[in-house]
């Protein structure tokens, strides 16, 4: 079980590189969706005895992260007929290199944080931090609103991985609240994206540059 | 029950507003809910608790609750007149989000659970993103998008920080997994230090983004510049103070764990950088609403400096929470009126506001004098208290920089404000028929008189509450 849990996490980290390295928006969203699937099923391998509550979490998170949000982004992509290219501020190769450095840094930093015996020999903390960093990179170095939202989704995946260490300490209501907030957050982003498209006829956030000092 | 009511009644009112067909009635629902909420907030006694201690009114939370409630009520009363002027814009979503915002900020002030605070802050963020987009034009769209993206990253970091703090408790504790602040405080030095420190840094960055501390402040000028003045006031006096409260709650945990000194240094650093950035960008600012945003960055810096200095400066910081919020009502609402009267918020097109809208112009000027710490207004007392705290705590460099930034900001802000209020009325002002009316200025007059009272004679009950709240933050050191 432990090995399977670790393999799943490694798959999740691989998706970071795929999302950041692809020149194609659809591939990026697919990588995020696949990562969503991996992080959602991870608790099943991580917790020795899954409870009904854990199963509920896995199903809800899995559906939201793998299908609902990526589906929404794909639909937005189809509807606005934008070119299926990333148009990054920072080139693909430099951003992948930066991610590699960041992933290494995450591993080094995670090493300094003491873990409980039950959580050792698992890659949870480095994977969570590396995924957070990947999401942040995607969010800051891409021009299209859709890729920024995808970055946010990946960032949230990283936090979700870490949150599994605390599953038992979190009251159900709080876990539901956190998930709900994320869904509503992305939903609001979707609405604003829709307005950006109508106002500017494009989802290029480069055009959002009128306000400055 | 009262506490739950304070959270749920605005939410219920939001539902009622959502099904109310009349655009004239909806603002009245908002104002009525505000008054009811204020009455309830005044009736709360420190120590009330519900829902297994998840929500409770301690002096610290009660103080911020009262500030938020008062601020909201003043803004809601102004909103009745404002939304009547803005008939061309549908106000359904606006009113629903205002009430949701009130419910969420109330929940922040009362929440005693690490993760519940986060859920409420996120809820408040999402409702304000919609409020910023009220004007539905390209510029407000850009502001809302930036607010949403920067705010979401901040809030995500705050979530990770909360989880780190929770792990610090799990790692150090003896099987007790509660994330109530009371339980975390009880663990004290038993918390795992590396996790706690890392979590605190993430929380300062995360909730600091919501407060608008530099260098995470970049959403602020855009949001405050493009949102209606009423939203600027609610953000600058409500949302930011709630994020500050969230930080203070974690700061108490840091203190209990013996990490208070680390936290205070971090606060001092962010505070001084915020004041420096505000001073730099305030000078030569031609857009007077963006100028107010930098003023807000400055005052958030002042708040964390007060906590960073500690001692008597804590009292100063909490006094400043009240003074800053009330003064921001005066500044943002009067700036909004001047904006309406001229159809512009650039000093290239706005001058002579004292002649064009005499009451709003005078209030804008008075608000400027108050916020920059001129006697006899309240901020003078609170800023002076922080300064004397810094001196008596032997933080001489901090005190010197604090004074320097205050002077630079006074000059920079003064130049813009005087350009707005003085001189002949610019032609842009002649074309609109906007006038000062009772409801457009009364809430500001009320706020300004309270700021004045706070500067001359602080009411005993308010002072006692502030002292009790400061005592909570004093800790061992």
Q: In terms of residue numbers, what domain contains B274? A: 270-477
| Nearest-by-CA chain A residue for B163 | A163
| Partner residue opposite A162 with nearest CB, options B137, B139, B163 | B163
- Taking the CA atoms of residue B201, residue B207, residue B210 and residue B211 in that order, the dihedral angle to the nearest 10 degrees is -80
Chain B CB contacts of A189 under 8 Å are 148-149, 152
Chain A CB contacts of B169 under 8 Å are 169
In the predicted structure, residue A28 carries a pLDDT above the cut 80: yes
Chain B interface mutation, best of A108, A113, A186, highest count of B Cβ atoms under 10 Å: A113
Which residues, listed in sequence order, are joined to residue B287 by a DSSP beta bridge? B346
User: Are residues A210 and B142, on separate chains, in Cβ contact within 8 Å?
Assistant: yes
Crossing angle (nearest 10°) for helices B288-309 and B219-226:
130
Contacts A–B by Cβ distance under 8 A = 115
Interatomic CA distance for residues A25 and A28, integer angstroms:
5
| Residue A170: DSSP 8-state | S
- The reported pTM is 0.94
DSSP string, A24-77: BHHHHHHHHHHHHHHHHHHHHHHSSS--HHHHHHHHHHHIIIIIIHHHHHHHHH
| Partner residue opposite A163 with nearest CB, options B113, B116, B163 | B163
| Nearest-by-CA chain B residue for A139 | B149
Q: How far is the alpha carbon of B410 from chain A, nearest alpha carbon, in Å? A: 19
| Residue B285: DSSP 8-state | -
Per-residue pLDDT band for A2 (boundaries 50, 70, 90) equals confident
For residues A63-75, average pLDDT:
90
CA distances from B385 to B42, B67, B272, B431, B455 (A): 26, 20, 17, 46, 12
Instruction: Phi first, then psi: give them for residue B150, nearest 5 degrees.
Output: -65, -45
Tell me the two tokens of residue A202. Answer: 């494009």
CB B76 within 8 Å of CB B34: yes
pLDDT at B27: 94
A211 touches chain B (CB under 8 A): yes
Interatomic CA distance for residues B178 and B359, integer angstroms:
53
Region label for A24, one of left (φ > 0), alpha (ψ between -120 and 50) or beta (otherwise)? beta
Q: Establish if B134 belongs to a structural domain.
A: no
With a CB cutoff of 8 Å and minimum separation 6, the contacts of A137 are A20, A90, A95, A98, A99, A102, A151
Q: Domain spans of chain A? A: 2-207
CB B156 within 8 Å of CB B148: no
Interatomic CA distance for residues B20 and B18, integer angstroms:
6
Q: How far is the alpha carbon of B116 from chain A, nearest alpha carbon, in Å? A: 6
| Partner residue opposite B192 with nearest CB, options A114, A189, A211 | A114
Q: How far is the alpha carbon of A125 from chain B, nearest alpha carbon, in Å? A: 10
CB A12 within 8 Å of CB A161: yes
| Partner residue opposite B116 with nearest CB, options A174, A189, A195 | A174
Interatomic CA distance for residues B214 and B323, integer angstroms:
21
Q: Give per-residue pLDDT as tens, B376-399.
A: 999 999 999 999 999 999 899 999
pLDDT at A81: 66
| Pick from B102, B359, B364: nearest CA to B229 | B364
User: Are residues B126 and A162, on separate chains, in Cβ contact within 8 Å?
Assistant: no
Interatomic CA distance for residues B296 and A200, integer angstroms:
31
Q: Establish if B254 belongs to a structural domain.
A: no
Task: List A residues 114-143 in contact with B (Cβ-Cβ < 8 A).
Answer: 114-116, 128, 132, 136, 139
Interatomic CA distance for residues B158 and B125, integer angstroms:
13
Q: Give per-residue pLDDT as tens, B56-87.
A: 999 999 999 999 999 999 999 999 989 988 88
Q: Establish if B399 belongs to a structural domain.
A: yes
Q: Establish if B387 belongs to a structural domain.
A: yes
A176 touches chain B (CB under 8 A): no
Task: Look at chain B and report how many structural domains it folds into.
Answer: 1
Chain A CB contacts of B225 under 8 Å are 211
User: Are residues A166 and B170, on separate chains, in Cβ contact within 8 Å?
Assistant: yes
Q: Establish if B177 belongs to a structural domain.
A: no
| Partner residue opposite A168 with nearest CB, options B123, B153, B177 | B177
Q: Is A107 helix (H, G, I), strand (E, B) or coil?
A: helix
In the predicted structure, residue A201 carries a pLDDT above the cut 80: no
Tell me the two tokens of residue B55. Answer: 């929500």
pLDDT at B249: 95
pLDDT at B269: 96
| Nearest-by-CA chain A residue for B223 | A211
Instruction: Phi first, then psi: give them for residue B113, nearest 5 degrees.
Output: -120, 130
Tens digit of pLDDT at every position of chain B (477 positions):
899 999 999 999 999 999 999 889 999 999 999 999 999 999 998 777 888 888 999 999 999 999 999 999 999 999 998 998 888 888 999 999 999 999 999 999 999 998 899 999 999 998 999 899 888 888 888 899 889 889 989 998 999 999 999 888 888 765 566 788 988 888 888 888 999 999 999 999 999 999 999 899 999 999 999 999 999 999 999 999 999 999 999 999 999 999 999 999 999 999 999 999 999 999 888 999 999 999 999 999 999 999 999 989 999 999 999 999 999 999 999 999 999 999 889 988 899 899 999 999 999 999 999 999 998 999 999 999 999 999 999 899 999 999 999 999 999 999 999 999 998 888 877 778 888 888 899 999 999 999 999 999 999 999 999 999 999 998 744
User: Are residues A210 and B138, on separate chains, in Cβ contact within 8 Å?
Assistant: yes
Q: Establish if B193 belongs to a structural domain.
A: no
Region label for A10, one of left (φ > 0), alpha (ψ between -120 and 50) or beta (otherwise)? alpha
Chain A CB contacts of B179 under 8 Å are 169-170, 174
Helix (H) or strand (E) holding B181: helix B181-187
Q: Give per-residue pLDDT as tens, B270-322.
A: 999 999 999 999 988 899 999 999 999 999 999 999 999 998 999 999 999 99
Interatomic CA distance for residues B337 and B328, integer angstroms:
14
Q: Establish if B465 belongs to a structural domain.
A: yes
With a CB cutoff of 8 Å and minimum separation 6, the contacts of B21 are none
CA distances from B83 to A189, B75, B131, B288 (A): 26, 12, 13, 22
Interatomic CA distance for residues B279 and B408, integer angstroms:
6
């Amino acid at each position: 079980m432990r090995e399977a849990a670790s393999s799943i996490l490694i798959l999740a980290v691989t998706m970071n590189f795929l999302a950041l390295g692809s020149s194609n928006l659809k591939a990026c969203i697919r990588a995020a969706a696949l990562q969503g699937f991996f992080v959602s099923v991870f608790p099943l391998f991580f917790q020795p005895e899954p409870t009904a509550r854990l199963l509920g979490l896995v199903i809800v998170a899995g559906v939201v992260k793998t299908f609902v949000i990526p589906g929404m982004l794909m639909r937005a992509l189809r509807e606005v007929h934008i070119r299926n290219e990333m148009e990054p501020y920072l080139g693909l190769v430099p951003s992948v290199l930066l991610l590699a450095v960041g992933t290494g840094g995450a591993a080094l930093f995670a090493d300094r944080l003491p873990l409980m015996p039950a959580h050792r020999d698992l890659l949870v903390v480095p994977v969570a931090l590396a995924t957070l960093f990947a999401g942040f990179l995607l969010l800051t170095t891409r021009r299209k609103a859709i890729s920024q939202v995808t970055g946010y989704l990946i960032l949230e995946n990283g936090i979700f991985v870490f949150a599994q260490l605390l599953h038992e300490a979190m009251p159900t209501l709080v876990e539901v609240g956190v998930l709900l907030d994320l869904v509503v957050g992305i939903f609001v982003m979707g609405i604003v994206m829709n307005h950006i498209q109508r106002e500017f006829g494009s989802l290029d956030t480069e055009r959002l540059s009128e306000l400055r000092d | 029950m009262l506490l739950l009511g304070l959270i749920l009644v605005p939410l219920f009112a939001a539902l009622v507003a959502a099904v109310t067909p009349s655009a004239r009635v909806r603002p009245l629902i908002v104002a009525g809910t505000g008054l009811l909420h204020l009455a309830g907030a005044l009736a709360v006694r420190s120590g009330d608790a519900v829902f297994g201690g998840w929500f409770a009114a301690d002096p610290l939370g009660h103080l911020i609750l009262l500030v938020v409630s008062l601020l909201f009520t003043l803004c809601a009363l102004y909103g009745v007149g404002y939304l009547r002027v803005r008939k061309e814009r549908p106000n359904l979503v606006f009113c629903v989000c205002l009430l949701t915002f009130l419910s969420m900020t109330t929940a922040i002030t009362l929440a005693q659970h690490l993760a519940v605070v986060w859920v409420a802050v996120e809820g408040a963020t999402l409702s304000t993103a919609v409020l910023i987009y009220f004007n539905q034009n390209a510029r407000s769209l850009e502001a809302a998008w930036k607010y949403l993206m920067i705010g979401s990253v901040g809030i995500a970091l705050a979530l990770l920080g909360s989880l780190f703090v929770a792990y610090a408790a799990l790692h150090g504790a003896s099987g007790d997994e509660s994330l109530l602040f009371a339980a975390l405080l009880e663990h004290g030095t038993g918390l795992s230090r590396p996790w706690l420190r890392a979590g605190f840094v993430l929380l300062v960055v995360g909730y600091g983004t919501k407060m608008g501390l530099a260098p995470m402040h970049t959403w602020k000028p855009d949001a405050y510049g493009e949102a209606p003045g009423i939203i600027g006031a609610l953000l600058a006096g409500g949302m930011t103070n709630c994020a500050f409260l969230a930080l203070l709650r974690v700061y108490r945990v840091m203190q209990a764990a013996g990490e208070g000194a680390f936290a205070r240094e971090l606060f001092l650093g962010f505070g001084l950088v915020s004041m420096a950035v505000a001073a730099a960008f305030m000078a030569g600012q031609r857009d007077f609403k963006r100028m107010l945003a930098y003023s807000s960055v400055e005052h958030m810096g002042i708040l964390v400096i007060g906590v960073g200095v500690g001692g008597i400066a804590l009292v100063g910081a909490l006094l400043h929470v009240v003074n800053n919020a009330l003064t921001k009502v005066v500044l943002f609402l009067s700036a909004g009126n001047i904006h309406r009267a001229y159809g512009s918020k650039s000093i290239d097109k706005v001058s002579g506001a004292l002649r064009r809208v005499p009451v709003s112009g005078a209030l804008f000027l008075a608000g400027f004098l108050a916020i920059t710490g001129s006697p006899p207004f309240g901020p003078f007392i609170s800023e002076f208290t922080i300064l004397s705290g810094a001196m008596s705590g032997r933080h001489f460099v901090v005190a010197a920089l604090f004074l320097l930034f205050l002077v630079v900001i006074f000059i920079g802000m003064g130049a813009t404000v005087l350009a707005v209020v003085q001189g002949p009325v610019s032609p842009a002002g002649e074309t609109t028929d906007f006038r000062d009316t009772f409801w457009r200025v009364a809430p500001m007059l009320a706020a300004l008189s309270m700021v004045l009272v706070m500067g001359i004679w602080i009411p005993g009950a308010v002072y006692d509450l502030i002292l009790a709240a400061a005592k909570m933050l004093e800790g061992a050191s």
